[in-house]
Amino acid sequence: MRKIVFIFVLLFSMSGVAHESSELNKTMKEMGHIYKQAMEAQSAHEMQAHLTELTTLVNESKQFQFKQEVSAESVEGLNKVLETITKASQEVDSGRVEKAREMLLKIDKLRKQYHKLHEPPSFWELLFGS
């Protein structure tokens, strides 16, 4: 009986982790969509609205639980994204939409850099270790 309870608890906890991972994945995809909209914005007002929404999504992402070994780095990356959004927002407020657009390119570089932390190990890493 104890084994059945243990297996049930283990499966239930794994489904919770999978659900949270799925929610984070969904939020990240939405962030990518809003980022593209901000980059394609034709007016300062439109860009500012997208930056505000992007800020909200990044803050939501910080609430998710990342793998323990990369949690601090993941939050650091999200903080850098927030910092970049804030600077770009200030540029938009000053009427420099193109300058803000240039600043937002940094977010894509950060995305590539920090997504590497969450990539699953390759077949060779599993076979021979990292």
- As given in the structure block, the two tokens for residue 105 are 């390119």
Per-residue DSSP letters for 85-107? HHHHHHHHHTT-HHHHHHHHHHH
Task: Please give the model's pTM, rounded to 2 decimal places.
Answer: 0.73
Show Cβ contacts of residue 68 under 8 Å, excluding neighbours closer than 6 positions.
none
Contact, 85 vs 55, CB < 8 A?
Answer: yes
Query: In which residue are the tokens 């505000």 written?
Result: 52
Confidence of residue 112 (pLDDT cuts 50, 70, 90): confident
For the stretch 98-109, pLDDT in tens is 999 999 999 989
For the stretch 40-96, pLDDT in tens is 999 999 999 999 999 999 999 888 887 777 778 888 989 999 999 999 999 999 999
